[in-house]
Amino acid sequence: MNIVRTPSTLEKLNLVGDTTAFEPAGDTPVAEVRRKPSPAELPCITQVATPRGPKSVMKSMMTTACERNCYYCPFRAGRGKTPRVTFKPDEMASAFDGLQRQGAVDGLFLSSGIIKGSVMAQDKILDTVEIVRKRYDYQGYVHLKVMPGAEYDQLRRAMELADRISINLEGPTDARLQALAPKKDFTVELLQRLAWAHELRSQGLRASSVTQFVVGAVGETDLELLSLTEKLHRQMSLARAYYSAFHPVVDTPFENLTPTLPTRELRLYQASFLLRDYGWNVEELQFEGEGNLRLDLDPKRAWAESQLRHQPIDLMRADRGELMRVPGIGPKGADSIIRARRKARLTDLGQLRKLGIRAPEQAAPYILLEGGRPPEQLRLF
């Protein structure tokens, strides 16, 4: 007689594995995605830099089954290689509570595949977090995925329960999204939810919103991605954009496509930080002929080579915004320079290093000290 044993919740979490490996949840996405869990950890536990500080976060899905057929996704409908695992809200909430009480985690990122429609999938996510918040009285960090097509009241409840929500656009335009995920509607199902989230924040809800793009699978350009990113920061108070370099998955329509270079993903993050944190406009970024960023230089240095190499700025006179345009000088460094020059003249790179600027030699080609360029150390190779 064959007896089929139902796997325990922890066994199911192991079966699900690192399902959200390419869906970052924190503020250091590159390190988060590339990190490998220790043998003692469940694969669903990830070290995440959150708005509340660094935390061990349980990242999982309510189900790995999905009725959508996104061309790049390992969970797409009909893919036989994906283990299909489903959790009930009580079960997932209890698993999180157990790990949290053991001290293994102090944060939750919850996503899901879509079965029987987006509304039902979203309800199961919300039901789980209602239990976590109310029955188990957990007051810590929660990041929730918003399903494409979720209802307004569901989005409101998600923002009441969570610290952060993800509404993933995946492509920068409707045409790009159709090439990635033909069953999703860019404007109606996704962009509208980001607009709703912005409206709900104006009503006092605190949860921030983020989005994610799949990079390199369908010919989208960096200019397209960053133009939309800038618009979302300015018009919809987007907290951040994630860029996921495309990796082909066996047994999907995109399995034979070329993977995207990690350097392209890195350059997009660097450029997006300039837009969000440094007050840049997308028109100031240096794009090559096809609308992509240079891979050999980070975007700030590429701009400095074009604009400052022959017109360096005087550190004793430049304002804060001008200082932050210099490679190697960020917001804290600019503030330190402004404070220091009120007391004494800045005459050499050593003074900059003492001010906390870790690599002042990066700034050397683009600045003036005592009316002249500081000496640059010649490279040996």
14 and 96 share a domain? yes
Domain final position from 246, 267, 294? 246
pLDDT of 381:
41
- pLDDT tens for 53-62 read 888 999 999 9
pLDDT range class, residue 1, cuts 50, 70, 90: very low
HEC string for the chain? CCCCCCCCHHHHHHHHCCCCCCCCCCCCHHHHHHCCCCCCCCCCEEEEEECCEEEEEEEEECECCCCCCCCCCCCCCCCCCCCCCECCHHHHHHHHHHHHHCCCCCEEEEECCCCCCHHHHHHHHHHHHHHHHHHCCCCCEEEEECCCCCCHHHHHHHHHHCCEEECCCECCCHHHHHHHCCCCCHHHHHHHHHHHHHHHHHCCCCCEEEEEEEECCCCCCHHHHHHHHHHHHHHHCCCEEEEEECCCCCCCCCCCCCCCCHHHHHHHHHHHHHHHHCCCCHHHCCECCCCCECCCCCHHHHHHHHHCCCCCEECCCCCHHHHCCCCCCCHHHHHHHHHHHCCCCCCCHHHHHHCCCCCHHHCHHHEEECCECCCCCCCCC
32 and 156 share a domain? yes
Domain range for 355: 308-368
Domain final position from 246, 273, 295? 246
pLDDT of 321:
94
pLDDT(35) > 70:
no
* 153 within a domain of the structure (yes/no): yes
- pLDDT tens for 312-327 read 999 999 999 999 999 9
CA dist 342 and 314 (Å) reads 14
pLDDT of 5:
56
* 273 within a domain of the structure (yes/no): no
* 159 within a domain of the structure (yes/no): yes
Q: Structurally, how many domains does the chain consist of?
A: 2
323 and 242 share a domain? no
* 173 within a domain of the structure (yes/no): yes
* 44 within a domain of the structure (yes/no): yes
203 and 319 share a domain? no
- pLDDT tens for 269-311 read 999 999 999 999 999 999 999 999 999 999 999 999 999 999 9
pTM over 0.85, yes/no: yes
- pLDDT tens for 163-173 read 999 999 999 99
- pLDDT tens for 76-132 read 999 988 889 999 999 999 999 999 999 999 999 999 999 999 999 999 999 999 999
* 42 within a domain of the structure (yes/no): yes
